[in-house]
Amino acid sequence: MHIICSDLEGVFIPEIWINVAERTGIEELRLTTRDISDYDELMTHRLKVLDTHGLKLQDIQEVIATMEPLPGAADFVHWLREKSQLIVVSDTFLQFAAPLMAKLNQPTLFCHELEVAADGQITAYKLRQKDAKSKTVRALKSLDYTVLAFGDSYNDTGMLKEADFGFFFQPPDNVVADFPQFPVTRDYETLKDHIRKSLGIA
């Protein structure tokens, strides 16, 4: 039996923090896991910026409400779920992802949670577990699944290494240069071809 694990942002939906940066004009929020590989460092930076500028959860959710999945993403998710089981394994937060997951017809999502004060200030973040992406793949393999995984960024590489088949999808050049062992795909049709060949499906 096989199962597919995927990233979320940059794969099925636009980068949430970049959209927040564009809407608010706060350039410091443009940094993502494509730029900073240490997730704790990145989130500590983000929380400081939010606090400095007085941005609260509602401000971010208002931006998210205007966002749509990437072109073709909903159809691709539908195709994936017809061919295999799909788990979206993301370093985003439930408070951010829920509206966008509804637009993808609610695939299974493993992600983290934010700690939010009564006034809406984001005070901290709670990881589901450290190194959750690679541990998810490891756990599925222990259940005798063949695991195929794809993502776009530094924080996906542990997942790709653990998987039986791992691919990049639309990664930036710096990530490709640092991890040349993973095949690179740039569109959903090419990724479909890799999935068909790897899993032996039509």
User: pLDDT tens for residues 120-176?
Assistant: 999 999 998 989 999 999 999 999 999 999 999 999 999 999 999 999 999 999 999
In CATH, the architecture of 16-64 is Alpha-Beta Complex (3.90)
**Half-sphere exposure of residue 134: CA atoms within 13 angstroms, side-chain side:** 10
Digit-coded pLDDT (tens) for 65-102:
999 999 999 999 999 999 999 999 999 999 999 999 99
- Burial environment of residue 30 by CB neighbours within 10 A (0 to 12, 13 to 18, 19 or more): middle
Digit-coded pLDDT (tens) for 1-10:
999 999 999 9
- For residue 193, the model assigns a pLDDT of 98
Compute φ and ψ for 18, nearest 5 degrees: -65, -40
Domain with CATH 3.90.1470.10 in the chain: 16-64
What's the DSSP call for residue 13? B
Nearest to 50 by CA among 37, 33, 31, 36: 31
Cα–Cα distance, 186 to 111 (Å, whole number): 24
Domain with CATH 3.40.50.1000 in the chain: 2-13+70-120+127-199
- For residue 121, the model assigns a pLDDT of 96
Digit-coded pLDDT (tens) for 3-30:
999 999 999 999 999 999 999 999 999 9
Q: Is 7 annotated to bind ligand? A: yes
pTM: 0.93
- For residue 135, the model assigns a pLDDT of 98
Q: Is 173 annotated to bind ligand? A: no
- Residue 102 to residues 13, 22, 50, 82, Cα–Cα distance (Å): 12, 23, 26, 18
Q: Is 15 annotated to bind ligand? A: yes
Cα–Cα distance, 116 to 124 (Å, whole number): 7
Q: What is the CATH number of domain 2-13+70-120+127-199?
A: 3.40.50.1000
Token match 């350039």: residue? 27
- For residue 48, the model assigns a pLDDT of 96
Q: Is 9 annotated to bind ligand? A: yes
Q: Is 19 annotated to bind ligand? A: no
Task: Tell whether the model's pLDDT for residue 199 goes beyond 90.
Answer: yes
Q: List, by residue number, the catalytic residues.
A: 7, 9
Hey, how many other C-beta atoms are within 10 angstroms of the C-beta on 87?
Answer: 18
